[in-house]
Amino acid sequence: MSTFYKVIRAIAYPIIRLVFRIKPVGLEKMPKEGGLILCCNHTSFTDVAFLIIICRRQIYFMAKSELFKNRFVNWLFTKMGAFAVQRGSGGAEAIEHAVKLINEGKVMGIFPEGTRSRDGTPKAAKSGVAVIAAKTKAPILPVAIYRKGKIAPFRKNTIRFGDIIKPEELDIDINSRTDLKQAANLIMGRITQLWEAGHGD
């Protein structure tokens, strides 16, 4: 974890905890070392902040390129290890950067849906996450964020971590669109199961 990341995390932690009720479930399932693909449903602009403060490893998030147009945001996100993906272009450069990070033993964070869900319900995953999984053969950590209603101060947010998805479970032929789609669906299916479990919290 970089010094800058630690400082931002330390500053953000008490503020976020004061404003939002966050309940992590299964955080111990996150491996303490080694390359990892962290996959989470996307419900709100707060998702990244919540994951940063509760996870004990630095997460290098893939984010849409539009967020990097603001000079300050570009500086902050880059310092935090985030990197841009051009939506609709296939994101080859971003995928290769993600592969490099994972092969270096880092945690790469991705929202497989590619955009926020307006009603909070998990949506279909894009195939990019499956391409990264096929190229790295890295374990995948499914995570789901659940809340009743829209994001609001003092509303409880459950962040549920699932069992690791092992590379052999996916068995992806990177040249097969069918394999890539099936793998992406499997990953999103696990996330959806975790999201549905959040209804009981």
CA distance 100 to 96: 6
pLDDT at 201 over 80: no
pLDDT in tens, 144-164: 999 887 777 878 889 999 999
Contact between 77 and 5 under an 8 Å Cβ cutoff? The reply is no
Domain that holds residue 134: 3-200
CATH number of the domain that 96 lies in? Answer: 3.40.1130.10
How far apart CA 172 and CA 43 sit, in angstroms, is 28
Taking residues 171-178, report their average pLDDT: 85
CA distance 196 to 146: 8
pTM score? 0.89
Kindly give the interhelix angle for 3-19 and 47-54, rounded to the nearest 10 degrees. Answer: 110
Flag the least confident range among 13-27, 92-106, 107-121, 178-192: 107-121
pLDDT in tens, 63-110: 887 878 888 988 998 999 999 887 655 678 889 999 999 999 999 999
Please give the Cα distance from 31 to 120 (Å, whole number): 27
Name the H helices within 88-176.
92-103, 128-136, 167-170
pLDDT for the residue 43? 87
Distance, CA of 11 to CA of 15 (rounded, Å):
7
How far apart CA 110 and CA 56 sit, in angstroms, is 17
Q: Please, what is the average pLDDT of the chain?
A: 89
Confidence bin at 1 (pLDDT 50/70/90): confident
Count of structural domains within the chain = 1
For residue 132, pLDDT over 60 is answered with yes
Crossing angle of helices 128-136 and 92-103, rounded to 10°? 40
Tens digits of residue pLDDT in 31-70: 999 999 999 999 888 899 999 999 999 999 998 878 788 8
- Per-residue pLDDT, 140: 97
